[in-house]
Amino acid sequence: MVGNNISRWTMTYFAMALAWLFVALVLMMAGVGYPAAGIASSDTLVLVHAVCIGWLSLAMCGALFQFVPVLVAAPLFSENWALPALGLLSAGLISLLAGFLSLGGRLPPALWLLPLGAVLLVAGFSLVVVDLGLTASLRPTGPARFVLAGLASLCATFVFGAIFAFALAGWTGPVGGFILASGVPLHAIAGLGGWLTLTAMGVSYRLLAMFMLAPDVDDRQSRMTLATGAFAVGLTVAGGSLAIWLASGLNVVLSIAAVFGLASVGLYGRDIAGIFRARKRRHLELNMRMATLSFVGLAAMAVLGIALAATDMFAAHVGAFAFLAVFGWLSGLVLAKLYKIVAFLTWLETYGPVMGRTPTPRVQDLVAEGRATKWFVLYYAAVWSGTLMLLAGEPHLFRAAAAAMTVGVVGIVREVIRIRRLADVASPLRLPGGAIAPHLLFARA
């Protein structure tokens, strides 16, 4: 940690994550993968893994390297592991995606790329899990417990993923093929529901309380939210694996898990509403207002899931449901918080060392909320439109929504780069004597 406060590589993770988000958006605009192709097609696998590993997981890892030490008030177990982990994850993802392209015939046959990618990803994620897990376990209370549950889910996710990759390459025999044929929902739920959602919930408790000056959520209250969510994921992974072993089908297990998952979302909504009600800062900054829209996305996802299940149409529209989960809930929250985290860390890195020696600007002087608002609004409007287009079976209009999302994300990223470059800070406060301008892609030592 730089000055024991700032993770050196968080910005690097964010930059790489945003690059993968652009890859995914370009694929969607170009009509590669679902809905133009089948949901289980190799093109869709490329798209899904670019989003879930490249964008969301890297952004989450970058945020966790900064905020797990804050959650437990202790330094990261090893700052030195963050960059090698990023290298392994990036190389693994490229190899995996190349393997999927090979599987779909877009590249010459080279299915060995799939297990190679899996091994690299398992190695990279293992470094992340050990580093963050050993740090979070120093004080496993409140939000840190969510992170630990998220990391356990990540392990389940990459174990399933590695089995699938080896099975697709034909290296596992019939057992791997059998697990691959039924286990995809377990892999997806452990990843999206366990790793990404439980972790996002935990981090959001701390970030919301910290930036709105609200008391932390009561530990017993958040423990109940976590228990129901972790039970849903645990039941999916353990019960689902048993059901696959017994060849008894996944419907019962997934139905029970869905009930607990919904209960966890409801309890999380109660907790977040409590933080907003108890906040001491009445004015909501842009990142909070936009995070609120991601909570609306989470609630809409729950309502959509119930409606689709009640009308027996969940399987037909699982793509729209997953799209809303990934872009309405998770990506919306990550973009909103990234906007704030970059400003906050940039301030600490640039002005923290000169505090007391010279006047410094505020964090809010680094951002131009009025300009950024329209890009966030465009992004959310495009995501909701895209969800409706998927439900309506309109792939061409979905591509138009993806184009609008891209415009929104380009606008947000431009604002983030301006923050990093201190472009909106007026002189003479911009770089007072002794202050050093931050590097765009990492925190200076």
Binding site for another protein (CB under 8 A): 3-6, 66, 70-71, 73, 209-211, 213, 280-283, 344-345, 347-348, 351-353, 355-360, 362-365
* Closest separation in Å from C-beta 353 to another protein: 7
Gap between the Cα atoms of 239 and 257, Å rounded: 9
Smallest gap from residue 79 Cβ to another protein (A): 14
Nearest to 19 by CA among 43, 46, 54: 54
Tell me the C-alpha distance between 17 and 445, whole Å: 22
- Shortest Å, Cβ 126 to another protein: 27
**Which lies closer to another protein via its Cβ, residue 138 or residue 300?**
138
CB of 360 to another protein, least distance (A): 6
Report which of 200, 181, 178, 202 is spatially closest to residue 191, judged by C-alpha positions.
200
Q: Shortest Cβ distance from residue 429 to another protein (Å)?
A: 11
As measured in angstroms, the least distance from the Cβ of 385 to another protein is 34
Whichever of 311 and 364 has its CB closer to another protein, that residue is 364
Minimum Å gap between C-beta 337 and another protein is: 14
Q: Does an H or E element contain 416, and which? A: helix 395-420
Q: Collapsing DSSP states into helix, strand and coil, what is residue 248? A: coil
Closer to another protein at the Cβ: 329 or 344? 344
In the complex with another protein, the residue whose CB is nearer, 264 or 350, is 350
Q: How far apart, in whole angstroms, are the C-alpha atoms of residue 313 and residue 250?
A: 17
C-alpha closest to that of 153 among 98, 229, 215: 229
Nearest residue (CB) to another protein, 317 versus 340: 340
φ, ψ of residue 2 in degrees (nearest 5): -75, 120
- What is the rounded CA–CA span in Å between residue 204 and residue 212? 11
CB of 362 to another protein, least distance (A): 3
Identity of the residue, 104 or 353, whose beta carbon is nearer to another protein in the bound complex: 353
275: tokens are 């933080």
Asked if residues 22 and 55 have their Cβ atoms less than 8 Å apart, the reply is no
Between CA 346 and CA 191 the distance in angstroms is: 30
Query: Which of 239, 432 has the CB closer to another protein?
Result: 432
Amino acid at 169: A
Of the pair 4, 251, the CB lying nearest another protein is at: 4
For residue 172, give Cα distances in angstroms to 101, 114, 166, 175, 375: 20, 13, 6, 7, 47
Q: Evaluate whether 123 touches 204 at the Cβ level (below 8 Å).
A: no
Q: What dihedral angle (degrees, nearest 10) is formed by the CA atoms of 18, 100, 44, 204?
A: -40
